[in-house]
Amino acid sequence: MTQTSQSPLDIVRAFMKDMERGDYDSAMTLVADDCLYTNPPPLGSVNGPADMRGILEPFFAPTLENELTVLRAASDGPVVFIERLDRHRLADKWVELPVTGVLEVRDGKITSWRDYFDAATILSVWPAA
């Protein structure tokens, strides 16, 4: 069992900062091997850090800069709720997406990450892969 002095909220904030920088190596150290990562349809779910990275890294490849601004955060034991404004600078524009995330942290690792947003909003303005 991993012991950590960081609260679940601290771990989630550190994870978001790593993701904002595109530091997938560091971010994935905060993710449990069996973590379930879920996005709204049609994006779906994956399990574990390798599959999570396999979704996130190619999706964010067109970004030149990311801002994941946490507007509000609250935690209840291992469960962390964060309201964010995700901003992504592409070659020709900034794209903004309001997001609410619910993450669970156990033994210092994120075991579940569910993001809620309007997928059509981001997919309609995102460059084709």
Q: 61-100, pLDDT tens digit by residue?
A: 999 999 999 999 999 999 999 999 999 999 999 999 999 9
**Where do the H-state alpha helices sit in the chain?**
8-21, 24-28, 48-59, 119-123
pLDDT in tens, 6-30: 999 999 999 999 999 999 999 999 9
Q: CA nearest 64: which of 101, 32, 94? A: 94
Contact between 101 and 115 under an 8 Å Cβ cutoff? The reply is: yes
For residue 3, tell me if it sits in a domain. no
Measured in whole angstroms, how far is the alpha carbon of residue 6 from the centre of its chain?
18
For residue 58, tell me if it sits in a domain. yes
For residue 83, tell me if it sits in a domain. yes
For residue 98, tell me if it sits in a domain. yes
Cα angle value 56/58/63 (rounded, 5°): 90
Its domain, for residue 72, covers 8-123
For residue 129, tell me if it sits in a domain. no
In this structure, what CATH number is given to the domain that contains residue 102? 3.10.450.50
What is the count of structural domains for the chain?
Answer: 1
